[in-house]
Amino acid sequence: MKKITFAVLVLTFVGQACIQKTNAQKKSEKMDNTKEHYTFQLSDKVTREKVTFKNRYGIELTGDLYIPKNGGNKLPAIAISGPFGAVKEQSSGLYANQMAERGFVALAFDPSYTGESGGEPRNVASPDINTEDFSAAIDFLGLNEKVDQNKLGIIGICGFGGFALNATAVDKRVKAVATTSMYDMSRVNAEGYFGSMTPEQRSKILEEMSLQRWEDAKNGTPKYPENGLGKTNEQSPQFVKEYYDYYKTERGFH
């Protein structure tokens, strides 16, 4: 497992469906949506365009901008991201599509180190940087000529719900925030599901991560943990079974 600091969490679960490229291509080809392999159909009331913008860490983020057709100017706008480890072709894009149908300009974006957004090494998360990602999305939306700068909001999904609240707490341009199925990613990494991790287990994990830094420094590349969610069984928590049912099947695989 790789390092960085307690603030930087490697994506080992909750929506991380990173498998070998050949398997990804094989599964994606089976999906019968658009050629970009979105998990939902674009509304006929909405347009979608790919956009890029930078956060203050210099990382270029990629998103999809959903705009209601014949919606006019000075529209309310919403930045949307999550779940943890997910990409804009999944839940955040679905939410953006729905909100645009309701008259909002909606930006679903891939967070830093994920999907089409920049950042190295890949598949890393940081509460600090991912909070900044939301504010960078607000930067971008507020400068769009169709958007009313006084009507900006955020939706954070699952593990990105906490980052959405972080951004809203400090960025006073954000007038409204909503979370759905919010999950505290920092806590679960520190304490395990249901607070089940003992201090001894946590200390052992930190020791392993610390020693791995020497290997990473020697090799010049980070070592990643086993990809994605492992197999589930009858003893697995219900929400873990549901993660698997969405992210590791054709229903939501990306």
Domain annotation for the chain: domains and CATH numbers: 9-247 (3.40.50.1820)
Residues 1-29 have a mean pLDDT of: 35
- If pLDDT is split at 50, 70 and 90, which confidence band does 57 have? very high
Question: Looking at residue 226, what is its pLDDT?
Answer: 65
Q: What does the pLDDT read at residue 224? A: 79
Confidence of residue 253 (pLDDT cuts 50, 70, 90): confident
> In the chain, what percentage of residues exceed pLDDT 70?
83
**pLDDT band per the 50, 70, 90 thresholds, residue 229:** low
Q: Which of 173, 218, 159 is CA-nearest to residue 9?
A: 159
**Lowest model confidence (mean pLDDT) among 10-19, 177-186, 195-204:** 10-19
pLDDT (0 to 100) of residue 136: 98
pLDDT at res. 222:
87
Q: What's the average model confidence in pLDDT over 222-237?
A: 76
Distance of CA 232 to the CA centre of its chain: 23
- Statement: residue 32 has pLDDT above 60: no
Residue percentage of the chain with pLDDT more than 90: 65
Mean pLDDT of 195-218: 94
Q: Where does residue 51 rank: exposed (0-12), middle (13-18), buried (19+ CB within 10 A)?
A: middle
Question: pLDDT at position 233, please?
Answer: 84
| N-term to C-term CA, the chain | 23
Tell me the pLDDT band of 23, cut-offs 50, 70 and 90: very low
For 143-170, how does the pLDDT look when each residue is reduced to its tens digit (9 = 90+)?
999 999 999 999 999 999 999 999 999 9
Rg (CA), the chain: 19
For residue 50, the cross-strand partners are 64
Q: What pLDDT, on a 0 to 100 scale, did the predictor assign at position 35? A: 58
Condensed to tens digits (0 to 9), the pLDDT of residues 6-16 reads 333 333 333 33
For residue 178, list its beta bridge partners.
Answer: 155
Compute the mean pLDDT over every residue in the chain, rounded to the nearest whole number: 85
Tokens of 21: 């490229």
Which pLDDT band holds residue 240 (cuts at 50, 70, 90)? confident
Taking the C-alpha atoms of residue 247 and residue 254, their distance in angstroms, rounded to an integer, is: 8
Distance CA 136, CA 147 (A): 15
Return the structure tokens found at 48: 């979608």
Neighbouring residues of 35: CB distance < 8 A, sequence distance ≥ 6: none
Lookup result for tokens 């919606």: 71
- pLDDT at residue 191 is higher than 70: yes
- Tell me which of 118 and 70 has the higher pLDDT: 118
Of residues 94 and 230, more confidence is placed in 94
